[in-house]
Structure 1
Amino acid sequence: MKQTALPKILKDFLIYLTTITGKSQRTRKEYEYDLVLFLRFIKGVQEDVLPAQIHMVDISDITIDWVRELSLEDLYLFMEYCEVQRNNSAAARARKVATLKAFFKYLKGKRRLIEENPAEELESPKIGKRTPIYLNMDEAKAFLTAIQEQHYSTRDYCMMVFFLNLGIRVSELCSLNNNSVQGRNLTVIGKGNKERTVYLNDACLAALERYLTERHAFKGSGPEPLFVSQKGARFARQTVAKIVKQINAQSEHKKDKLTPHKLRHTSATMMYKAGADIRSLQHILGHSSVATTQIYTHIEDEQIQEVLKNNPFNNII
């Protein structure tokens, strides 16, 4: 979608997202994308614009009076367009529903600009529960072993050890600074700029100590990042994802489409299997809701079968 001039009500909402609710710039961009698409689509329908030309619709002149005329049926029409014309998955449509709900809730609850909230009764499409993809212990060991003795291998090894031991997000790893480490404590800035402290175990400390002896000098400005690229710059999420992909390609046990997020899944799953309680896991992972943490409490079918086989009543035939 090409850049477009935004109406003031949308600009105000996006500012509210970052300054008041603490949403990240990435999340703000996602909200902006969804709402620009929504406004263009509805205005396009009103002006008989062909679906293929929706991206050309100018929304800069949209006012709050125009928004007040929107109905629940308009929102349903938009969701149908996303499903049929854009082939959006249930997860993608659910995100758009969440965006619309947040936008209209802001207009009514925070700004008092509308009397009726058309998104209040908008339902989110059901998303099937997906079991997180993760590495088993042998695959994880092979993955770490695949980090060859080459330039910057201590850095890459340290980053992967942090993923597997701490379960941090890739954005959290990239935002770590030198002063984030205080002894055995690591200060992590999570979603919504929420700060949490996680414990650095022996594996993390050993990997960090080896990395710091070879660490490149930081050539940028501002807070000094903990993990620095070959050129002395802070890492971007995409670069870390490429490193994970390269290591996986060298691994004896390759995992299909391995990502930093799947390493986070691996960490969470292994900690749960090792006896971590759900509340501790919630804090370590930085989840605002325990419901999110519960997706990591899945148990493989083989384990379930073994539990049933070992039920003492199984011997009574």
Structure 2
Amino acid sequence: MNKTLKIHNKSDKPYNIVLKENNLIEKCIKLENELPDFMKDFFIYLKSAVVTSTRLAYIEDISFFCKYLISETNLTKAKTLKDITIDEFDNIKARDINLFLGDYCSRYYKKTEKDVLIFENHNRALARKKSSLSSLFKFLYRNEQIKQNITDGFNPIKLPKPQPDAIKRLEVDEVAKMLDAVETGEGLTEKEKIYWKKTKLRDKAILILFVTYGLRLSELRELNISSFNFSRGEFKIFRKRGKEVLMPLNKTCELVIKNYINNERPNSELIDDEHKDALFLSLQNKRITIRAIRELVKKYTSIAMQISRKNGYSPHKLRATSATSLIQYGFSIYDVQNLLDHDNVTTTQLYAAHKKNVKREIVKNFEWLDDEIKNED
């Protein structure tokens, strides 16, 4: 008999945020139970050292490495992940890790019943796997479970330095075209217009929230009706690392959200209890999916830029659009850093580089001898 999972939520976090966190924790526990017992102390360390999403990513990487040990090497005699021993881990050398990252991970194969699938990892993915394994081996050494710290021998993985010119975002006039498209339906196919008539107020609210606040995709999806306090002119979002943040609500966003709630969003009696508080709903009256948000952003950005649907932008490009637009309107990089929740101001500075000819404009409008210059002219 299947038992229904019920969460006793004593915090002031909404149910959907608690449920999302719990789902990640359940995945972590499942993988941890499959891995060797000698890693238990490391798993306890991860609980308090990193956020849950990072914890899951680390455990997934370690599980992948252990499967590699069994299927591709002679470094263990184990037949299952649970059977790998600490003595076998103690015999692993830096060279073994470098072969795993540099040779196997960069391109590997998986056989299914019908196909052979080819997987490739580029440097960013390899760097994350290296970080996961470095954390594990350093911990085992500090915990006196292995005799040597082999991590100093791991090969460096160079990541490309972000270039301002490579940052994709919409120009101000393209944002206007995007919002016109969602308002009028112009540029949509006849099939798309059928759905547009039912969701245009929702889609408009989603796009305006993205370009105004530079919200992350997960932050926008998890918004609830209860997140908004219209009388105070603010709304609450839950950011990375469990941060709870109050955001000021401007008139434009208040207008489009209220318009959607009052004129398009289904009445609460038509919605299951699980989704009653969700702000943005699908046509099935469920909380909108990550995939659906990506598709609608791709659709409207492609219309704005007059390119094919498949080349339309992701929600993260609207985050970049928000950042560059705010800086071009004159807000400081520190204000924009705070609004977008960048860990480091250097990330925000990349968007500042898009302010075209900024040095020329500053100097041109800052003449100390303005009267003399005019006389010479």
TM beyond 0.5: yes
Q: Confirm whether residue 76 of structure 1 aligns to residue 86 of structure 2.
A: no
Q: Distance in 1 between matches of 2:319 and 2:244?
A: 18
Q: Confirm whether residue 168 of structure 1 aligns to residue 197 of structure 2.
A: no
Q: Distance in 2 between matches of 1:167 and 1:13?
A: 36
Aligned to 1:7: 36
Q: Distance in 2 between matches of 1:108 and 1:222?
A: 47
Aligned to 1:124: 157
Cα distance per residue 1:270-301 (max 9 Å; x no partner): 1122222222222211223333333322236x
Q: Distance in 2 between matches of 1:292 and 1:252?
A: 25
Shift of 1:212: 1.1
CA 1:287/1:104 → structure 2, altered by over 3 Å: closer, same or farther?
A: farther
Shift of 1:261: 0.7
Cα distance per residue 1:130-184 (max 9 Å; x no partner): 4321000111111111113611211111011000001000001111122211232
Of the three residues 39, 50, 58, the one matched with 1:21 is 50
Structure showing greater Rg: 2
Aligned to 2:324: 269
Aligned to 1:53: none
Greater RCO, 1 or 2 (C-alpha within 8 Å, sep 6+): 1
Contact 2:275 2:286 in 1 (8 A): no
**1:41-60 equivalences in 2 (<5 Å):** 41-47=68-74, 58-60=80-82
Opposite residue 234 of structure 2, the aligned amino acid is: N
Cα distance per residue 1:100-139 (max 9 Å; x no partner): 2333344455x56445433356433232324321000111
Opposite residue 21 of structure 1, the aligned amino acid is: V
Identity, in percent, stands at 28
Q: Distance in 2 between matches of 1:253 and 1:13?
A: 51
The alignment partner of 2:64 has SS state of: helix
Shift of 1:28: 4.6
Opposite residue 171 of structure 1, the aligned amino acid is: S
Shift of 1:211: 0.9
- When the two chains are superposed, the root-mean-square deviation of aligned CA atoms in Å is 3.4
**1:209-248 equivalences in 2 (<5 Å):** 209-213=258-262, 214-216=264-266, 217=268, 218-221=271-274, 224-248=277-301
Q: Distance in 1 between matches of 2:163 and 2:85?
A: 41
Q: Confirm whether residue 136 of structure 1 aligns to residue 190 of structure 2.
A: no
CA 1:171/1:62 → structure 2, altered by over 3 Å: closer, same or farther?
A: same
Aligned to 2:339: 284
Shift of 1:87: 4.2
Q: Decide which moves more: 135-144 or 214-223.
A: 214-223
Aligned to 2:121: 88
Contact 1:7 1:63 in 2 (8 A): yes
Of the three residues 33, 36, 44, the one matched with 2:63 is 36
Aligned to 2:17: none
Opposite residue 180 of structure 2, the aligned amino acid is: T
Q: Distance in 2 between matches of 1:15 and 1:271?
A: 42
Q: Decide which moves more: 35-44 or 261-270.
A: 35-44
Shift of 1:21: 2.7
The alignment partner of 1:119 has SS state of: helix
Q: Distance in 2 between matches of 1:154 and 1:30?
A: 36
The alignment partner of 2:198 has SS state of: coil
| Structure 1 gap segments, 5+ residues each | 50-56
Q: Distance in 1 between matches of 2:69 and 2:241?
A: 31
Aligned to 2:198: 151
CA 1:39/1:153 → structure 2, altered by over 3 Å: closer, same or farther?
A: same
So what's the TM-score if we normalise by structure 2?
A: 0.69
Q: Distance in 1 between matches of 2:179 and 2:38?
A: 49
CA 1:125/1:14 → structure 2, altered by over 3 Å: closer, same or farther?
A: farther
Aligned to 2:134: 101
CA 1:185/1:117 → structure 2, altered by over 3 Å: closer, same or farther?
A: farther
CA 1:271/1:101 → structure 2, altered by over 3 Å: closer, same or farther?
A: farther
Cα distance per residue 1:46-74 (max 9 Å; x no partner): 3299xxxxxxx742312333323323222
The alignment partner of 2:325 has SS state of: helix
Opposite residue 322 of structure 2, the aligned amino acid is: S
Aligned to 1:190: 239
Cα distance per residue 1:172-214 (max 9 Å; x no partner): 1111122211232121111111122222212111111111112
Shift of 1:78: 1.6
